[in-house]
Amino acid sequence: MLKKKIREKNKDMHEEIIEMGAQGKSKIKHWTAMKEEITSGKSPDYMNRLSQNKCSAIVRARNRMIPVKKKQQNQHQNMTCRLCKDPNTIEQQEHVIEECKTTTDQIPHKIKYDEIFKEQDTKTMKQIAKTIIKIHEIIENNT
Ligand SMILES: [Zn+2]
């Protein structure tokens, strides 16, 4: 019963974050309220330790919300990674985070894809978040 409630709450949260991403910074107030709500309930520990920008980056990556071609298949006929342009690639999260030569050349700390799903110490979580933010920027600058 309670588990179901939490699951529903998380689902709501993710939908709100998607909406927020679309609407940009005007929703920061909304985010603060939402963050308070989740921190009062059962929220992952990292949410209390990271800035909202970094939390949001982790949430986005975990929910596969980085705007890679695989996410927007209807908008792309050619799924090849637009960053490295290697014809053997598919532009999806795993590729841009862990394999893509273009992003890994530009990020100071390489991360393994499955690291984004682990609970780790604050320093590591911050590093991962920074990397995700940077990769997101690289993709947006190449859109
Ligand atoms: Zn690539």
Burial class, 43, CB count within 10 angstroms (exposed 0-12 / middle 13-18 / buried 19+)? middle
Distance 87 CA to ligand 1 centre (A): 9
Interval 47-88: pLDDT, tens? 788 999 999 999 999 999 999 999 998 999 999 999 999 999
pLDDT of the residue at 26: 45
**CA-CA distance, 129 to 142, in Å (whole number)?**
20
Interval 21-46: pLDDT, tens? 555 544 455 566 556 555 555 567 77
> At a CB cut-off of 8 Å and minimum separation 6, what does 46 contact?
55, 58, 119, 122, 125
Distance 24 CA to ligand 1 centre (A): 27
Alpha helices in the chain (DSSP H): 2-23, 28-40, 46-49, 52-62, 93-94, 101-106, 122-141
Q: How many CB atoms lie within 10 A of CB 97?
A: 25
Distance 37 CA to ligand 1 centre (A): 38
Q: Where are the domains of the chain?
A: 1-38, 43-141
Mean pLDDT of the chain: 82
pTM value? 0.69
pLDDT of the residue at 49: 85
Distance 5 CA to ligand 1 centre (A): 39
